[in-house]
Amino acid sequence: MSGPAANDDIDPSLLPIAQLCDGKVSFKSEGWRKLIYMEKLRFRVGTTQYVMDAILCLNHDNATYPTKLYLAQNVGGGVNWNENAYLLGRNWPTFSWSGVTPDQPYLDILAAHLAPLSKAA
């Protein structure tokens, strides 16, 4: 199942992100973190296509990194993979990508985090 069809009861603000996923997209929370959980997010690292679960943290506790994207695995891409977080019952690697503010549409936040990966050689 792909896109919004997999998300019959989705929050309307998540519909643009659901277009990029082959599974459900939903808000989650853990502790103080507000998260968007994305099942089977489709994205590219350079010319390689990936499909994997991902989490977008909308309120990371670091002013330099106010939002964070966590992926199910380290996909390389020439960025600094320097952190892992235990969220929603599993470990999620992330890379250092700063300055993506939470005061924009969710799809724009996601795109800003994916941008350095899509440019990888």
1 pLDDT above the threshold of 50: no
Q: What is the pLDDT of residue 2?
A: 47
120 pLDDT above the threshold of 80: no
Residues 42, 52 contacting (CB under 8 angstroms): no
Q: What is the pLDDT of residue 78?
A: 81
Q: Determine the residue type at 44.
A: R
Give tens-digit pLDDT for 15-62. 999 999 999 999 999 989 999 999 999 999 988 999 999 999 999 888
To the nearest whole percent, how much of the chain has pLDDT over 90? 66
More confident residue, 59 or 121: 59
Mean pLDDT of the chain: 90
For residues 33 and 87, give the distance between their C-alpha atoms in angstroms, rounded to a whole number: 9
Residues 110, 17 contacting (CB under 8 angstroms): yes
The two three-digit tokens of residue 52, written as one number: 């994997």
Beta partners for residue 33, in sequence order: 30
Q: What is the pLDDT of residue 29?
A: 93
Q: What is the pLDDT of residue 42?
A: 98
Beta partners for residue 71, in sequence order: 54
Please classify residue 33 by burial: count the beta carbons closer than 10 Å to its beta carbon, then call 0-12 exposed, 13-18 middle and 19+ buried.
middle
Exposure b/e, 3-22, CB count within 10 A at least 16 = b: beebbeebeeebebbbebbe
